Amino acid sequence: MNCPELDLLQQLVDDELADELRDQLVEHLSLCADCQKRIDSSAETKLWGDALSDLNTCPNESSLLEKVLANVKSSLDPWQKEHPTQSMYSGISAEALAWTGDGFELIAVLGQGGMGIVFKARETSLDRVVAVKVLSPKFAVDPSARERFLREARAAAAVNHPNVVTIHAVSDSGPLPYLVMEYVAGETLQERLDESGMLPTSEVAHIGGQVAAGLSAAHNSGVLHRDVKPANIFLDENTRQVKLGDFGLAMVCGQSQLTKTGMLAGTPTYVAPETLDPAAKPDHRADLFSLGSVLYAMCCGRAAFEGHSVVATLHQIANGQPTPVAEQNPNVPAWLGDIIGKLHEKDADLRYQSAEAVQSALETHALGSIDVVPPPARQVRSQPQRERNGSRLAIFVAVCVVAAVLAVLSTVWTRVPEDFSVFNDEGALVGSFADLSEAVEMAPDGSRIEIQGDGPYFVEPMTLTQRSLTLIAAENCEPVLRFEFEDNHEEDETCLIAEGDLSLEGLSLVCEVGDEVGFPCLVHASEGAFHADTCRFIIGPQGSCLVCNTEHPIVLMDCELHAVGGDCVELLTEGEDRVELEDCLLTGGVAIRIPEPQSCEIVLANCTLVAHEVFELFDEEAEVTGEQTIHFLTEDCAFKAFESVVAMNTPDLSREAFMQLIEWTGTRNVFSGPLLAVLEDESRQIVSWCQSIEDWFSVTAETDSTYSDEPFPVADEELWELLEVPEELDTEIFDREITAGEVD
């Protein structure tokens, strides 16, 4: 037999051949070494390498691990936490469970109301998690109720909008009709309100605007909701998206809420007055009244219309006026109170006439309120700095005027947006605050401060005394914290002193240093560990981004540090420091300064460092004893120095002493500019034993690294875009230090 084609060998592996041919081929394969090689080379063997032989080693067995895995699984599934499986089926009729054989696998019960049950289930054919609403058997036997259920569900299914819970399917095939809906992971607005009471205005506007958008889409397709209430508003915990569910279904089983007492329990709080009048024909504006009640509940933490009994509540809705929002919560801005008042008009003609109009009213004001009311600190503090030469009296008058204006304004515009939300270590909201220092003061140990907005926020220097604290940007926000010093600052002031562990995520920290300030720094990690992820640090024209004086790990990932005329990172500890930078960009006078000889480890992976001196070692008086070793581990980095990559302040540095002091391990790095210089009486001398890249490679352990005279990986213009300096910051300070002309 001749050697078969590769295709045929493949078919043999895939078991796609007739028996006879297969046997022939196998026999040939037993004898033909060539074909044995060919069949092996087409396999994925090479991909795995020695990993396959690792299969032979015993895997990690731990009963604790098993438990953790089970725990993790249930904690990733928020519904299972709230609806423990033991009680899952209690109180549910056997008929209601009947449909589960129908291509669904039951996961949990989400809710049970008068008209039916909602399950969380897995649709086995598509392997997706859905919510299934099954009509209660007691209504399913009534053909007209059944008909209405299906009709309403089909109408709602036609609405396709991100703020409306999608209906995937409607079924009437089994004993109980049901509909299959999108499952929204997260809580309902009702649960949120139960947990945190009133919500900050920005949140009210956000949720209200999205509900209005969803209603608008439904109304435009001719679908009324008829039961807008917090329990039907779902907050997606992953996207912050708000979704309105349960369209039209409330009415299916009880047309008049007054007559069917079974439907009343807990629900009439949000209905519109016209729905109570058997003669009236409620239209889409009834949904808007309910939306007003939802907004009211978010602002005040309680319902607008509340009586001691169902009848008393209905009486309130029909005839009463709710307590004005401002009386319940003085923090609610007047415009929001006005919107709610207009939605609560008993006469539908006096309300907003469309959900769209409500949406745009909420959105316009929500934006406007932030623009119109500047943070007071900014007015008062920036004034004296800008007019430094003016007389003290003028400044005093200006401050008084501003204060007076603010006092007047505060009666009209009662609120500054509360963008700083504090969550404790269990994730519960402690409170929302208008400025960072207040939030920090109220933040317990281990908490997380989430910043919901871009700012710029004007911040005074502060000390964080918590053992551990996280400052994090809310989703889709890029907050800028601008630090400003008081006029009577001390020298070398620090913007943020961390006395414990500090993590920053997604923030920009900016400080424009005035003439009178010495050499300040943005962050001083003085005790605990410091982590920064996707942050930007900008300081100039002098000062450092980060001063580390801690024995705990310093880790920066995806960060940019720009210290114009100063240091990006300064390592002060005389201990076993470890600094780790990954995917970072550093520009400045010095990228990393180590003032005292010390043993430390500097790990740089995939970083770009552009500076006059990338590494500056030791103050002038420092003595190198030969006992310390600075360990550099660098991988995929680019170093560009205008003066030298490593600058030493120790004049009599021999090649041997250098090699003893610096343990450099590098892979795939790119260097540009002079490599090693010694500073001597203000002048820089490139040391004789390190004048070429070959010399450099001979004193360091570099593999696959290169030297480049080409423009650097980060061209200066690109650097500009990367900087994205806030407009108010005088950008000339950046020009001065890093220009193309100085590159030579």
Partner 1 sequence: MTRAAATRVSLLVRLRDSQDSAAWSQFTDIYGPLVFSFGRRYGMQEADAADLVQEVMGQVARSIAKFEYNPQLGKFRSWLYKIAKRAAGRQYSKRQRQPQGTGDTAIVDTLDQIPDASVDGEKIWKRQYRTQLLTWAAEQIHDQFQPHTWQAFWRTAVEGQSPQAVAEQLSLNVGSVYVAKNRVMKRLAAKVREIDDTL
Residues 590-619 that bind partner 1 (CB under 8 A): 603
Q: Which residue in the set 398, 406, 557, 693 belongs to the binding site for partner 1 (CB under 8 A)?
A: 557
* Dihedral over Cα of 122, 123, 129, 132: its sign: negative
Nearer to partner 1, 445 or 680 (CB): 445
Angle value at C-alpha 320, between 314 and 326, nearest 5 degrees? 120
Nearer to partner 1, 23 or 619 (CB): 23
Q: Which residue in the set 60, 87, 125, 488 belongs to the binding site for partner 1 (CB under 8 A)?
A: 60
Under the binding rule (CB under 8 A), the answer on residue 29 touching partner 1 is: yes
**With CB under 8 A as the contact rule, which of the stretches 37-45, 512-520, 707-715, 720-728 interacts with partner 1?**
37-45
| E strand spans, 357-486 | 420-423, 429-433, 447-451, 457-459, 462-464, 468-473, 480-483
Under the binding rule (CB under 8 A), the answer on residue 87 touching partner 1 is: no
* Active site (annotated) includes residue 681: no
| Residues contacting 84, CB < 8 A, separation 6+ | none
**With CB under 8 A as the contact rule, which of the stretches 54-62, 110-118, 608-616, 653-661 interacts with partner 1?**
54-62
Q: Which two tokens stand for residue 221?
A: 């397709």
Q: Which residue in the set 190, 424, 437, 468 belongs to the binding site for partner 1 (CB under 8 A)?
A: 468
Q: How far is CA 659 from CA 317, 447, 587, 631, 690, in A?
A: 84, 45, 27, 11, 12
DSSP states of 51-80: HHHHTTSPP---HHHHHHHHHHHHHT-HHH
Q: Which residues 131-160 are close enough to bind partner 1 by CB under 8 A?
A: none
Q: Which residues 180-219 are close enough to bind partner 1 by CB under 8 A?
A: 183-185
Nearer to partner 1, 434 or 559 (CB): 559
Tell me the closest approach of the beta carbon of residue 188 to partner 1, in angstroms.
16
Distance (Å, whole) CA 175 – CA 255:
23
The answer to whether the CB of 522 falls within 8 A of the CB of 509 is yes
Under the binding rule (CB under 8 A), the answer on residue 393 touching partner 1 is: no
Distance (Å, whole) CA 75 – CA 740:
54
Under the binding rule (CB under 8 A), the answer on residue 90 touching partner 1 is: no
Under the binding rule (CB under 8 A), the answer on residue 122 touching partner 1 is: yes
Distance (Å, whole) CA 125 – CA 106:
14
Tell me the closest approach of the beta carbon of residue 338 to partner 1, in angstroms.
37
Site string for partner 1, 404-423 (x = CB under 8 A): --------------------
Question: How would you classify the pairing of strands 676-680 and 683-686?
Answer: antiparallel
Tell me the closest approach of the beta carbon of residue 72 to partner 1, in angstroms.
5
Nearer to partner 1, 28 or 315 (CB): 28
Under the binding rule (CB under 8 A), the answer on residue 635 touching partner 1 is: yes
For 523, the enclosing helix (H) or strand (E) is strand 521-525
Q: Which residues 524-553 are close enough to bind partner 1 by CB under 8 A?
A: 528-529, 531, 533, 552-553
Under the binding rule (CB under 8 A), the answer on residue 8 touching partner 1 is: no
Nearer to partner 1, 417 or 500 (CB): 500
Instruction: Scan for tokens 């396999």, then name that residue.
Output: 43
Tell me the closest approach of the beta carbon of residue 531 to partner 1, in angstroms.
7
Which residue in the list 172, 227, 283, 533 is annotated as catalytic?
A: 227
The answer to whether the CB of 484 falls within 8 A of the CB of 378 is no
Under the binding rule (CB under 8 A), the answer on residue 633 touching partner 1 is: yes
| E strand spans, 536-686 | 536-540, 544-548, 554-557, 560-571, 577-582, 585-594, 600-605, 608-617, 630-635, 638-648, 662-667, 670-672, 676-680, 683-686
Tell me the closest approach of the beta carbon of residue 12 to partner 1, in angstroms.
6
Q: How many helices (H) and strands (E) does the chain have?
A: 24, 36
Nearer to partner 1, 38 or 342 (CB): 38
Under the binding rule (CB under 8 A), the answer on residue 12 touching partner 1 is: yes
Tell me the closest approach of the beta carbon of residue 186 to partner 1, in angstroms.
9
Q: Which residues 64-83 are close enough to bind partner 1 by CB under 8 A?
A: 64-65, 67-69, 71-73, 75-77
The residues facing 442 across adjacent strands are: none
**Cα of 127 vs its chain's centroid, Å:** 29
Under the binding rule (CB under 8 A), the answer on residue 55 touching partner 1 is: yes
Distance (Å, whole) CA 133 – CA 118:
4
The residues facing 243 across adjacent strands are: 234
Q: Which residue in the set 6, 8, 21, 36 belongs to the binding site for partner 1 (CB under 8 A)?
A: 36
* Long-range interactions of 276-280: CB distance < 8 A, separation 24+: 276/314, 276/317, 276/318
Q: How far is CA 305 from CA 254, 297, 403, 630, in A?
A: 22, 10, 39, 70
Nearer to partner 1, 56 or 625 (CB): 56
Q: Which residue in the set 25, 271, 325, 436 belongs to the binding site for partner 1 (CB under 8 A)?
A: 25
Nearer to partner 1, 128 or 151 (CB): 128
Nearer to partner 1, 314 or 592 (CB): 592
Site string for partner 1, 226-255 (x = CB under 8 A): -----------xx-----------------
Instruction: Read off the DSSP letter of residue 349.
Output: G
For 290, the enclosing helix (H) or strand (E) is helix 284-300
Under the binding rule (CB under 8 A), the answer on residue 14 touching partner 1 is: yes
Site string for partner 1, 289-328 (x = CB under 8 A): ----------------------------------------
**With CB under 8 A as the contact rule, which of the stretches 190-198, 385-393, 575-583, 734-742 interacts with partner 1?**
575-583
| Residue positions annotated with a catalytic role | 227
